[in-house]
Structure 1
Amino acid sequence: MSDAFTTRVQHVPTGSRERVVDLTRDCEAFLGEVAAGRDGLLNLFVPHATAGIAIIETGAGSDDDLLAALHTLLPADDRWQHRHGSPGHGRDHVLPAIVPPHATLPVLGGRLELGTWQSVCLVDTNRDNTERKVRMTFLAGGQS
Structure 2
Amino acid sequence: MQKEIILTTKEHNELIDITKEIEKIVSESKVKHGLCNIFAAHATAAILINENYDINLREDIINALNKIIPEHNNYKHNCVDNNAASHIKAAIIGPSETIPIRDKKLLLGTWQSIAFCEFDGPRSNRKVIITITNQKI
TM-score (norm 1): 0.87
2:22 corresponds, among 14, 19, 27, to 27
Alignment of 1:50-69 (within 5 A): 50-60=44-54, 61-69=56-64
Structure with greater helix share of residues: 2
Does residue 44 of structure 1 match 2:46?
no
Q: Distance in 2 between matches of 1:124 and 1:58?
A: 15
Q: How many residues align?
A: 135
| TM superposition shift of 1:128 | 5.3
| TM superposition shift of 1:130 | 3.0
Alignment of 1:1-144 (within 5 A): 6-35=1-30, 38-60=32-54, 61-83=56-78, 84-85=80-81, 87=82, 89-127=83-121, 129-142=123-136, 144=137
| Residues 21-58 of structure 1, C-alpha deviations (whole Å, 9 max, x = no match) | 0010011110111145x010000111111010100111
| TM superposition shift of 1:72 | 0.8
| TM superposition shift of 1:122 | 0.6
Secondary structure, aligned partner of 2:76: coil
Secondary structure, aligned partner of 2:88: helix
| TM superposition shift of 1:97 | 2.2
| TM superposition shift of 1:96 | 2.5
Gaps of 5+ in 1: 1-5
Secondary structure, aligned partner of 1:119: strand
Kept in 1: contact 2:23–2:106 (CA 8 A)? yes
The Cα RMSD (Å) is 1.5
Gaps of 5+ in 2: none
Which 4+ stretches in 1 moved above 6 angstroms? none
